[in-house]
Structure formats: C-alpha cells, structure tokens
Structure 1
Amino acid sequence: MRLSRLARRCLAATSLAPVLALALSGPGAQAQTASPRVLRVAPHADLKTLDPVFASIVITRMHGMAIYETLFAWDSNLQPKPQMVEHYTTAPDGLSWSFTLRPGLRFHDGQPVTSRDVVASLHRWMARDVVGGKLKEYMAALEVTDDRSFTLRLQRPFALVPFALGSAIGQIPAIMRESDARTDPTTAVTQTIGSGPFRFNRADWQSGARIVYDRNPDYQPRAEPADGLAGGRVVKLDRVEWIIMPDPATAAAALQTGEIDIWEQPAQDLIPTVARNRDIRVERPTNLSNQAVLRPNHLLPPFNDPRARLALAYATDQADFMAAAFGDEQWWARCQSYFICGSPNGTEAGAEGYARPNLDTARRLLAESGYRGERVVINTTSEIAPIGRMAEVAVSALRQIGMNVEADFADWGTAVARVRKREPVAQGGWNIFITTSSGPTMQSPLTNLGTNMSCDRAWIGWPCDEESERLRNAVVDAPDEAARKLATEALHRRLAEVQPYRVLGQYDQPYARRANVHGLLNAPVMVFWNIEKN
C-alpha cells in the first residue's frame, strides 16, 4: 500500500526525533522547557554565515537584525525612521548630511558605539550591497566629526539617504565595531559583537540543531512604539532559540504540541493541517507578496548571451513552478513584474510576451546563442523544499528545449557558498540558482538586488548592462513620483529585453504561531523584539 505524502512525512518525523531532542538539550534546557520567557522558533534554514554585511541570505539577515542595529530602520510602510541616529540635518543644496548618534549606544563587549565604528561599517557595506553601492556612486566623502557625529558629503543630491541607511534587504548596513568592520569585504566576519537588543549565545550554539539569542540587558530602546523595524526594540523575552527542523512534519508536530512557538515558514501543504488546530494562528508577515527567482550566471556560457536568457523566459511556465513549490493557488499568482505586482512600482511593461511558454521560440534563441549541448548545472538544495521542487521543474522545462541540464543538490549552506564562485562549472562553479526574495526587497528599483546590472558590483550572477544602469539611475534621480513612475516603466522594458533573471511568479509565505504568542511585527524579516508569550 502506498503512503500519502503527509503519512510519509510523519514517518520521517519519527526518525528525526533524536534531532529535536538534541536541539532541546544543552545547558539549562530542562529548566526552560515551559518558561514563558523562552521563545522557540523553527526557522526556514540553519545559520551558516554570521556576517549580514557579507551575505544577503534571509537567515543571516534575521541573525543580523537580532544582534546588530542600523542607523535608520524601515517602518511597516517601508518608510525610514531614525534608529541609532538621534537627529540629522541636511544642507539646503542636498549635498551634505550631518548625523548625531543616540547617547548610550554600547556594543555587547561594553565598548561605546562611536562615529569611527559607523564610518568603517558603512564603507564595508557600500562595497558589498546593491543599495550601498548606489549610495557610494553619489558619495564624495564620509567623515568623522566627533565621537557621536559624522558627515556624509555627496557629489549630487540623493534624496533616499535615510532609506538606504535603513535598508533591510540584501546586505544590511549593520554597524559593527571598527575592528570588525575593517575586515576585507570579501571575507566574512566571524565575530558576533553588535549593539542590538539580543546577544548571540555562542556557547549554546549547536550547528545544525540550535541557535540561541539572549536578551541584552544593557540595551536601551527608543521611546517610540515598535512599527515594522522602526521604533522601540523592547525585548520581552529572556531567550530566543532557533530549533533547526529540516523535515516539515517534524516542525508541524512540534508546533502542535507546543515544543516550538513559531514556525517561520510552514510548508504550504501542511498549512491546512496546522491551521485547524485552535491553538495555532497562521498569518502573513508583510503586505507584499514574495518573488521566486531563477538566476542565471551571466559570466559563463550559455547565459552570458542574452538570447539564452530569453530562452529561459520562453521555456518556463510560472504556474508549473508556483504550483510545485507553494501548492494551492490561493497562495500564489502569475506576475511578470520584477517589482512585484500590487506594489507601487509593479509594472509588467515589456514582459507581456513571457506570460505563457513558447518552446519553439525558446529553442531557436538557445541555438542562436551558440549553445551546443554543454552541461548546465543548477546549484540548489532540498533543505528548503520549495526551492528544491522548483529546481526539479526547471530541469524538466529546460530539457524540453534541448538543454543538457542537471540539478546538483546540497545543503543550503553549501549551495549559498557555491553561488559566490565565478569559476567554470568544472571547477565548482554553477549556471543557474533558484531562490526567493521578499516583496519589500524586490518592490523598488533601488532595493531589487536582482535588477542591479553593474557587472562586478552586481549580486551573484553578475549581470552587466550599461543601459539598464542608466535607466535605474534615472529612477533614483527622478524629481517627483510621476517622473519616477515613467522612469520605472522604461527601466522595466529594458530589463525584460536583457533578463537579469527569470521571474518565476510571486507567492505569500505565512508564518504559524501558537495562540499564546503575541506581538510579531509587520516587517521584511521576522524579528523577535516586541513579542510576548503567555
């Protein structure tokens, strides 16, 4: 007799019980099991990289938001508000910005946060991030004034300075100690000394099983109410534990029994099961849908030729990817917009022709690109189930147009490490990477890291197109919203021609929480201040 998918997962959950036991063991675990001051969360992936300026992956960003702070922070409407900054002024010509830090800011080792730490941190961030890189293009100088004050001088006005300094996408502008921020931008910082509301508990960290954050007793939150990532970051818990549960059935069972309090990204096919439990709530974390991305490596054949990238667009049906990854259509939609359908920048201009597959056109374009059957590798993982399932759909779709393609599955940390390689496939490189990104990340031409086509400064895949960058600059420089909308549409038409990546559709990824957990904020990533457990 064949088992149903859910039955097979529940059987797998039994075999993973020792993993859960390990995660819930360790110093002091027995005393904390029933404590309302300890929050246990099943995150979507294990934490491998500790530096949120080095890596743009969501799990590292969640970690970064817990232990570090930024100068500004986005509220629930994605508007920037001062966070580490006490006050700031702008010169009438817009070419000089002066900032003063809040008093009482201290790193977890007791050192005060100074302007020297800020300047070093921002320089490193600008060398890594799409938003930081754009700010750097406008910058003339970044100077320390005194221990709490610094000045940003610009070559030309850049009205989005506070928005950029509060960025919650890509590599975040986390303020580190100067000694850590002096680390080469291409090398990950392994220290975890921030000034944020939580401290990373390295002693209780068990790779592959548990990540632990303790409340920072010395942290002084802002006085304003919490709103998105902005306002007072008041920690109402003693400890947050991330319990790594690769199997969805294990996480579903743990949530229903109360062994965990939050499941950050529940598997879509198990949402109806957990939602029927009267002690569980299933909710959306933000107002914008997320985006699924098929990213080709623009440095290597065949996708260094735009015709091969167009072939990807014509060969792929968004519905196949979304249904495989996210199940019921109530959770997903077709959308050809790089900037999220339903967002202020959501336009499908120029991309209308990719709404349905055209395999004949895809085959022709692939042949014209010079492709002759060379091996194409999709660097992927089954650890994050939707990504693995989309990789399988991609293999099937691309084989239909004659591509010699295979998926190379690894754990998420290994896949993320590999994606930074620029070498040929034979030397450990890759051709295609499938991932997802939040709506707040992708909704703006400034923050959408995938549409940055600035060559070596671009996100992985390293697309290069001078005209796209000219049009993206026109969006940033637009004098008003009407002009910005027209500039965004022109940019989108160009992106549809050169295909920095294939949009695979958009979807809603809810979280699930126990009913006795309250205060989760509407934010681009899940954060753990403001949360209460009773």
Structure 2
Amino acid sequence: MLRNALLAAPFLFLSAIPNPSFAAGVINVATIGEPPTLDPMASTADVVGMTTQHIFETLFTFDAEWNVVPLLAEAMPTVSADGQTYDITLRKGIKFHDGSTMTSADVVASVERWVKIASRGKQIAPYFTSITAKGDDAVQIVLSKPYAPLLSLLAFNNSAAVIMPKANLADDPLTKFIGTGPYLLKERKADQYLQLTRFDGYQPRSEAANGFGGARKAILDEIRFVPVPDANTRLEGAISGQFDYADSLAPETFDRLKGSDASEPVVLKPYGAPVFVMNTKEGVLAKKEMRHAIQAALNPEDMLLAAFGNPEFFAVNGALYPEGYVWHTEEGIERYGNGDPETAASMAKEAGYDGEKPIRILTSRQYEFHYKMAQVAAEYLKAAGFKVELGVFDWATLTTRRADPKLWDIFITHGPFPPEPILNGWMSDSYPGWWATPAKTAAVEPFIAEPDQEKRKALWAEIQKTFYEEAPVYKVGDFNALGSKKKTLKDFQPSPWPYFWNVSTAN
C-alpha cells in the first residue's frame, strides 16, 4: 500500500458505525452557494466535491489517517517493481443509479476522460500511457515513468476521478449525473436546492466505516443541499434549527452557536489555509518581480485578524503545512509576512510598474473571510502605490471568471491541508494562475518520481523554496473552520468535505 499520504497524526475523522437505533428522514444542509457544476471532474470548488461525493464514487478513497484505501476497487492495486504498471481489480456487481452494472469499460472511459479534462487528471497526463480493460472486472494503468502520487490523485474527491457509465460520457458538458454512490440526484432547482434521495441499489463495502473509507450506509431518506450565500442567514438558520448542518460560519458567531438550543458548533482544527492565487500567465503579475512586490506589501496578521477576529481561529504561519504534519518545513518562508508597503513600492517601481494598470482582485462574500481579507489587502496594496480594483462575485461566477486569464490578477480561495502535497490545486500547471515554469518542473519531477517517504520530505522542502521564490500564490496563514450541526443529527463525523452517509436524524 502506498502510505505517502499519511500525516504525522490522525486528522479529523473518527471511525464509527451508525447507532442501530437510527432513524431515516430528511436533512437540510446549508452550503455557501450554488455548485457551479455537478460534474466532479470539471471543478475544484469545495462545494462541488462536498455535494457530488454522495452521488459519485472513485476507485480509491482515504481512511481516517489519510491512507489510501479501496472504494470501487476490490483491493489495493498490484504495482510492478518499476512503479509503472498498476493492476486494479474492481468490485463485482456494482450498480449505477440507472440500474446498469459497472464494468471495466466504464472505468476505462471515466479515467480517460479525467486525464483529459480534470485539472488533477491533467497532472498525471504527461506520465499516463494507457488504461485498458482486463476482462470485465479489472483494469491496468500503465505509466511512462513512476508517479508516486497516482493513488492519492485517484482517491481525491476534488476534480475527482469518479466512475460514470461509459454511455453518458459522450455528452460534454455532462447532461446526466449518474454514479454509484449511496444517494442519487432526484432534482436540482437552481439557487433553491439540490435534492438527493437514497439509492436502494447501493452496495456498501463490508469493512467498518473509517474516514471516507469502509461501509457507506445510506440511512437518510433524503439530503437537501440548500445554497445560502449569506453567512448570517446560514447562522440564523442553524440557531433556529432550520438547517441540520451549516457550512462555513464566521468565528465570531461561535458563542451564539454554543448558546443555541437546536444546534452546536463544529470546529475543524486545523482546517487549512486561505490563499491569494496570482495570475502568472497574463497581466500585471505575470512578471515574477511584481509578485515579489505583492509578497512584501501584504501583512498576513492584519488580514487574519480581520477575517477571523478570534486568535484561537488562526495562526500566522508561512509554512505550507503546519507543525505536526510530515510535510512541514521552514524552507523559503523568509519572504512571508513582511507587510512593508514602502519596500513593496520600491520593488514594484524597479519591476516597471507605473501605477496605471490596476491589480484586479476577485473575491466573494459567500466566504465572508475571503472578502474581509480582500479589503485589508487592498489597503496595503494601495499604500504601496498599486491601483486596486476589488471585484465581488458569487462563488460560482468567480470560479467561472478565474478560468479566463484576461479578467483578473488575484483571486482568493482556501483549502484544507491535503494528505499528499501534489493535491494542492496550484500544483497543477492547468489550475487558474497557471504556474508552469522550468523551475517548478525541476523541483516537482524528482518529488513525484520518488516512492520513499523520507526522501520525499526533503524534496518537498525544495518545492516550498521554489514556491516562495516564484510566488505563484500568497499563503495568508492557517485557520480553523467553523460549521454547525443540529443536535438531532446522529453519528456525523466532521471532515473538510462534510458527508452524510452513515448519518441519521432523531427529528
């Protein structure tokens, strides 16, 4: 088994099997907004992964300690001595939501599409030679050279390598959203709800539930994901008991949640990092020296204070992984946390900036902490002599706009600390921001080819050093995420992408 995704300590999951006295029912989950798509391959947006993981499944997934474990695969693959051939046996008799049976032909077609269109699939594309069927219940993946993160990429639910019926893949974009998951798509009403109902033909694995792995039991009759862009509305709905789960709440609301009779706070500590992704392809920040000026101008502590208020919810930290993670290193972070507009102004002038072209920042109030950080960042950049345009959009629109390099210079996003560093969105050359340079390639190539975990740690330190030198992304710091769950929601296990199989309600 590949264990390169293992963190130094278990993260957020607890192994659990639902209480036998469970009750079926309907739950309402408040999300930050409308998913821009229901095609998991086509988007890295967390709201897409959070919702569609109930509909679609991957060959592998992660357990409670972030080890890769089988899901639609029968077992872990057999890997050749040279690390280039993976033989994967599939579970037999797995049904899609349309009643058809999953075969190797569906897996081959799905993985081929993933490699072609998904940002994470494109990461493997240069190393991907073929995937072929070996009978109805097995496939073989052949690489041109070893690629250590392959199984982690196949397991991730973000820009995910989900398995769909081959017949449905002819449509681009997808018109049918049919998977093998414990819940199926019943109805989607844009900006109102996404209605999922139990798939009675679902066949859970026999192992005990363990993180995303093991048995997934569809206990609830129905899950309704309700887009609620306003954080205060999500909060009031949580306090009143309208929502069984509410995602992404402001830290300053923690005490109000603690006092609620209906709901209770859910804190994920640590959750991840907010980041400012810079456009390295076109515009003002295509020049590295200009990105260095941005690094120098911004003050991370002020942005984190504005965003989260309570110091218990953030840490000023430039390392891409916090202490306690196997990937933690201090390499390169001397460029982090200067907050020096005067120096930044001098650097920008040397880089040829004349103050005419604006720095166009994309942000969204659906993640209120993004917006607050953007406001502080804008003031620091203005103090450094930059002209700034702040564009505030709903999250779905922002994810569409960031795909066009002509429309922006910085966009603000966030994500958890993934178990395998290659899963960071910006590690993909095709991720918006388009960090694809010879220096990046030189740092990344040895890392992805090396199977030895200890050697990979040292190679990751070189990648972080290159990250700071090339400045494709500004990491603001670390933060804890706050959500809420209704007290009647049973056996819910917090995670970066909340899931609702193995969950019941006492409503």
| Same fold flag (TM > 0.5) | yes
The 1-side partners of 2:99 and 2:296 are apart by 56
Q: Does 1:433 align with 2:389?
A: no
Closer, same or farther in 2 for the Cα pair 1:193/1:431, shift >3 Å?
same
Closer, same or farther in 2 for the Cα pair 1:374/1:158, shift >3 Å?
closer
Q: Which residue of 1 aligns with 2:66?
A: 78
What is the aligned length? 482
Q: Which residue of 1 aligns with 2:263?
A: 280
The 1-side partners of 2:25 and 2:453 are apart by 46
The 2-side partners of 1:366 and 1:183 are apart by 47
Show the 5 A alignment for 1:129-528: 129-169=118-158, 171-183=159-171, 188-202=173-187, 205-285=188-268, 288-372=270-354, 373-422=356-405, 424=406, 429-440=407-418, 444-452=420-428, 454=429, 458-528=430-500
Tell me the alpha carbon deviations over residues 142-192 of structure 1, each in whole angstroms, 9 at most, x when there is no partner. Answer: 1112222111112223344322211233x01111222333455xxx42421
Closer, same or farther in 2 for the Cα pair 1:446/1:510, shift >3 Å?
same
The 2-side partners of 1:414 and 1:58 are apart by 14
The 1-side partners of 2:451 and 2:114 are apart by 27
Deviation at 1:279, TM superposition (A): 4.3
Closer, same or farther in 2 for the Cα pair 1:438/1:358, shift >3 Å?
same
**When the two structures are superposed, what TM-score results if normalisation uses the length of structure 2?**
0.90
The 2-side partners of 1:136 and 1:267 are apart by 39
Deviation at 1:486, TM superposition (A): 1.3
The 1-side partners of 2:295 and 2:323 are apart by 18
Return the letter of the residue paired with 1:313. Q
| Contact 2:266 2:484 (C-alpha < 8 Å) held by counterparts | yes
SS of the counterpart of 2:476?
Answer: strand
The 2-side partners of 1:353 and 1:495 are apart by 10
The 2-side partners of 1:127 and 1:520 are apart by 35
SS of the counterpart of 2:189?
Answer: coil
The 2-side partners of 1:466 and 1:444 are apart by 22
The 1-side partners of 2:322 and 2:440 are apart by 18
| Contact 1:37 1:239 (C-alpha < 8 Å) held by counterparts | yes
The 1-side partners of 2:398 and 2:347 are apart by 29
The 2-side partners of 1:130 and 1:470 are apart by 20
The 1-side partners of 2:310 and 2:132 are apart by 53
Tell me the alpha carbon deviations over residues 206-237 of structure 1, each in whole angstroms, 9 at most, x when there is no partner. Answer: 22122211111111010111211111111110
* 4+ long deviations beyond 6 Å: none
The 2-side partners of 1:182 and 1:41 are apart by 32
The 2-side partners of 1:217 and 1:476 are apart by 40
Deviation at 1:114, TM superposition (A): 1.6
| Contact 2:32 2:248 (C-alpha < 8 Å) held by counterparts | yes
Counting aligned pairs with the same residue, the percent is 26
The 2-side partners of 1:459 and 1:251 are apart by 30
> Structure 2: which 5+ residue stretches go unaligned?
1-22
**When the two structures are superposed, what TM-score results if normalisation uses the length of structure 1?**
0.86
The 2-side partners of 1:437 and 1:473 are apart by 24
| Contact 2:120 2:160 (C-alpha < 8 Å) held by counterparts | no
Q: Does 1:69 align with 2:69?
A: no
Deviates more, 1:392-401 or 1:136-145: 136-145
The 2-side partners of 1:126 and 1:520 are apart by 33
| Contact 2:71 2:205 (C-alpha < 8 Å) held by counterparts | yes
Q: Does 1:104 align with 2:93?
A: yes
> Structure 1: which 5+ residue stretches go unaligned?
1-34
Tell me the alpha carbon deviations over residues 394-415 of structure 1, each in whole angstroms, 9 at most, x when there is no partner. Answer: 2111111111111111222111
The higher-RCO structure (CA 8 Å, 6+ apart) is: 2
Pick one of 108, 111, 116 that aligns with 1:122: 111
Deviation at 1:129, TM superposition (A): 4.0
SS of the counterpart of 1:256?
Answer: helix
| Contact 1:221 1:232 (C-alpha < 8 Å) held by counterparts | yes
| Contact 2:98 2:178 (C-alpha < 8 Å) held by counterparts | yes
The 2-side partners of 1:288 and 1:144 are apart by 41
SS of the counterpart of 1:363?
Answer: helix
Closer, same or farther in 2 for the Cα pair 1:242/1:118, shift >3 Å?
same
The 2-side partners of 1:289 and 1:341 are apart by 13
The 1-side partners of 2:35 and 2:123 are apart by 28
Deviates more, 1:342-351 or 1:210-219: 342-351
Q: Which residue of 2 aligns with 1:89?
A: 78
Return the letter of the residue paired with 1:312. I
The 1-side partners of 2:247 and 2:410 are apart by 26
Deviation at 1:479, TM superposition (A): 4.5
| Contact 1:292 1:504 (C-alpha < 8 Å) held by counterparts | yes
Show the 5 A alignment for 1:27-66: 37-66=25-54
| Contact 2:217 2:501 (C-alpha < 8 Å) held by counterparts | yes
Closer, same or farther in 2 for the Cα pair 1:67/1:265, shift >3 Å?
same
